[in-house]
């Protein structure tokens, strides 16, 4: 009988575990060739994700899948679809062509009450066959999985013996709509829904911002000129549809809008080093506002006329101080502010003045998500170019840009003048971060251990350090740990802090989201009430000298200077 479809076969395939599939704060990130060349490397990790979910919760559930379009994206999605079906998932919601921004995935998980989402991204890391690939699991709240979940996934990956797959199942990512598949021994068909990647997310933003006012500001009489750089990441189609088509911005305002598997050979990292093209194009003053986004659309960099740079800690502080320029917050009220520990304390000053609770968390968006789920947090930010609200459970690049445009539209001042007003009102936190990338891991660990021993000694507190005419006295030094106010879980070893009596801080962290070697980061945060219009690097030079002297970093790592200065 010709229209009788043979149900698809579900196979159980034996496999052997890998020892290195521990997900970091941002999932499992490795070089593409690791996923390509190691037998079942991808399959093992995906099975570990599904196995971490209780079978009763998994049966018939909905899972969201999408990625930033980097090389290996579609290959990985095919495997995820075949394995989801075999593991009892009832429905997959996948972005058109397999592409969906991280904020949009968070939105879609929440909207469709999915049990979670699998995000294929290595964020701002380079893509292409020689680049990086990553897999991140988000839970039902739309945010990154908490430590208990990622630990469980890791434990399963170390002992895995088999995975389930439906190899005959092939899905068409190019056609919007539902596709159903009959599987052997399954009563209900397995459904795959290919959805428009932008629609749900655009709807969400429409309910947060005043689109009519923004449209007038961006395309009415006397409209401002803006330039948005998607860096060939996932956000291109979102910028085109939301900012250009809906808010009426000229099409040439949006650059590098076509998502590319290798991001055009660039780092899709929105900072002064990697978004240099945008900075250069802003120099002559023809644009009033500029922004760049990363590979998966959750990070942002804000620039004013002539390329005036807004540091991420200042960005979240300014949004906090002008929060009622965003209609959403007029409706919800403001429940709390938060920043990651290495982020400058500019936000703290706004929180204090407005009598709003401030939370200082470890790095990682899941800590903010926990506070938001408990109704304690409305706005948060990280120095690593992440800003967000409680509308989803991820940082959100386009949201941050629309927040800034809402402030500019309301205040009718330039970016630079808004910052200068802010510094006059609150004082200024000069802030910078030095990254030493691909450092020998043993040398880095040893340096951090010795540094911790030194700063933990009783005699270290009250020590004075003099550089030129500046004297800094240590008031407090520790290894930062965080007790979650919601569930009392404790997160330790989050970075070494030296806090001086004038409120200045030096922070050292060993980071693990890169795919080779260790990265040592030094953060320098200095508060000035009077000298607020100086050059950041000049102002921070004395503290930078002290930071290097205390840690002996150049000597210990064999480096003469940082790889990247932000």
CATH code at 550?
Answer: 3.30.310.50
Q: Are residues 205 and 353 in the same domain?
A: yes
Model pLDDT for residues 206-233, shown as the tens digit of each residue: 999 999 999 999 999 989 999 999 999 9
Model pLDDT for residues 185-196, shown as the tens digit of each residue: 787 899 999 999
The C-alpha atoms of residue 439 and residue 436 are separated, in whole angstroms, by 7
Residue 416 domain-assigned (yes or no): yes
Instruction: Please determine, for residue 412, whether its predicted confidence score (pLDDT) is greater than 60.
Output: yes
Residue 405 domain-assigned (yes or no): yes
Q: Are residues 434 and 407 in the same domain?
A: no
CATH number, domain at 240? Answer: 3.40.120.10
Instruction: Please determine, for residue 513, whether its predicted confidence score (pLDDT) is greater than 90.
Output: no
- Catalytic, 200? Answer no
Residue 1 domain-assigned (yes or no): no
Q: Are residues 191 and 215 in the same domain?
A: no
**Final residue before a domain boundary, out of 196, 212, 228:** 196
Domain hosting 74: range is 11-196
Residues in CB range of 461: below 8 A, 6 or more apart? 474, 475, 476, 477
Residue pair 300/400 in contact by the 8 Å Cβ criterion:
yes
Q: Are residues 39 and 110 in the same domain?
A: yes
Instruction: Please determine, for residue 25, whether its predicted confidence score (pLDDT) is greater than 80.
Output: no
Residue pair 310/302 in contact by the 8 Å Cβ criterion:
yes
Instruction: Please determine, for residue 4, whether its predicted confidence score (pLDDT) is greater than 70.
Output: no
Give 210 or 24, the one with higher predicted confidence. Answer: 210
Q: Are residues 398 and 438 in the same domain?
A: no
Q: Are residues 528 and 401 in the same domain?
A: no
Q: Are residues 272 and 414 in the same domain?
A: yes
Residue in 26, 101, 123, 230 annotated catalytic: 123
Residue 511 domain-assigned (yes or no): yes
Instruction: Please determine, for residue 515, whether its predicted confidence score (pLDDT) is greater than 60.
Output: no
Taking alpha carbons only, the member of 44, 17, 15, 42 closest to residue 158 is: 17
Residue 178 domain-assigned (yes or no): yes
**Final residue before a domain boundary, out of 196, 211, 239:** 196
Residue 50 domain-assigned (yes or no): yes
- Per-residue model confidence (pLDDT) at position 376: 97
Q: Are residues 356 and 406 in the same domain?
A: yes
Q: Are residues 60 and 133 in the same domain?
A: yes
Q: Are residues 130 and 232 in the same domain?
A: no
Is residue 469 classed exposed, middle or buried when 0-12, 13-18 and 19+ CB atoms within 10 A define those classes? exposed
Q: Are residues 503 and 447 in the same domain?
A: yes
Residue pair 329/378 in contact by the 8 Å Cβ criterion:
yes
Residue 457 domain-assigned (yes or no): yes
**Final residue before a domain boundary, out of 196, 225, 260:** 196
Give the chain's domain count: 3
Instruction: Please determine, for residue 514, whether its predicted confidence score (pLDDT) is greater than 80.
Output: no
pTM to 2 decimal places = 0.94
The C-alpha atoms of residue 544 and residue 548 are separated, in whole angstroms, by 6
Q: Are residues 43 and 191 in the same domain?
A: yes
Residue 192 domain-assigned (yes or no): yes
């Amino acid at each position: 009988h010709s229209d009788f479809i043979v149900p698809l076969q579900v196979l159980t395939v034996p496999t052997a575990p890998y020892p290195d599939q521990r997900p970091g704060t941002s999932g499992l990130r490795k070089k593409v060739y690791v996923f390509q060349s190691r037998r079942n490397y991808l399959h093992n990790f995906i099975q570990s994700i599904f196995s971490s979910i209780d079978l009763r919760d998994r049966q018939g559930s909905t899972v969201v899948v999408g990625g930033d379009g980097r090389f290996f994206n579609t290959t990985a999605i095919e495997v995820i679809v075949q394995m989801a079906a075999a593991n009892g998932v009832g429905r997959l919601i996948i972005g058109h062509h397999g592409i969906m921004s991280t904020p949009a995935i968070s939105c879609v998980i929440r909207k469709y009450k999915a049990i979670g989402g699998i995000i294929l991204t290595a964020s701002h890391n380079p893509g292409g066959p020689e680049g990086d690939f990553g897999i991140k699991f988000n839970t039902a709240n739309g945010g990154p999985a908490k430590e208990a979940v990622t630990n469980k996934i890791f434990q399963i990956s170390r002992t895995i013996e088999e995975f389930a797959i439906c190899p005959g199942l092939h899905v068409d990512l190019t056609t919007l709509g539902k596709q159903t598949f009959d599987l052997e021994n399954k009563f209900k068909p397995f459904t795959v829904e290919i959805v428009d990647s932008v629609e749900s997310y655009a709807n969400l933003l429409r309910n947060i911002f005043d689109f009519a006012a923004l449209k007038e500001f961006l395309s009415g009489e006397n409209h401002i000129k803006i330039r948005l750089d998607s860096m060939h990441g996932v956000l291109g189609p979102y910028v085109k549809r939301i900012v250009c088509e809906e808010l009426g911005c000229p099409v040439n305002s949006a650059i590098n809008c076509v998502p590319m598997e290798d991001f055009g050979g660039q780092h899709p990292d929105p900072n002064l080093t990697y978004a240099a093209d945008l900075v250069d194009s802003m120099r002559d003053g023809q644009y009033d506002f500029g922004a760049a986004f990363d590979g998966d659309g959750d990070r942002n960099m804000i620039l004013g006329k002539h390329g005036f740079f807004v540091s991420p800690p200042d960005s979240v502080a300014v949004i906090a101080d002008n929060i009622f320029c965003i209609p959403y917050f007029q409706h919800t009220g403001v429940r709390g502010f938060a920043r990651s520990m290495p982020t400058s304390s500019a936000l703290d000053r706004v929180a204090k003045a407005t009598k709003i609770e401030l939370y200082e968390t470890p790095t990682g968006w899941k800590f903010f998500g926990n506070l938001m789920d408990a109704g304690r947090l409305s706005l948060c930010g990280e120095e690593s170019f992440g800003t967000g609200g409680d509308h989803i459970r991820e940082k959100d690049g386009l949201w941050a840009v629309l927040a800034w445009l809402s402030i500019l539209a309301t205040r009718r001042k330039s970016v630079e003048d808004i910052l200068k007003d802010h510094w006059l009102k609150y004082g200024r936190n000069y802030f910078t971060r030095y990254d030493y990338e691909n450092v020998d891991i043993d040398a880095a660990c040893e340096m951090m251990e010795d540094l911790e021993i030194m700063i933990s000694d009783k005699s270290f507190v009250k020590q004075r350090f003099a550089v030129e005419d500046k004297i800094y006295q240590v008031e407090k030094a520790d290894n930062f740990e965080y007790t979650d106010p919601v569930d009392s879980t404790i997160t330790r070893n989050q970075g070494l802090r030296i806090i001086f009596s004038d409120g200045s801080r030096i922070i050292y962290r060993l980071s693990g989201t890169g795919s080779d070697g260790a990265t040592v980061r030094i953060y320098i945060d200095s508060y000035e009430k009077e000298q607020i219009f100086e050059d950041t690097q000049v102002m921070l030079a004395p503290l930078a000298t002290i930071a290097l002297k205390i840690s002996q970093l150049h000597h210990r790592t064999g480096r003469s200077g940082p790889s990247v200065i932000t």
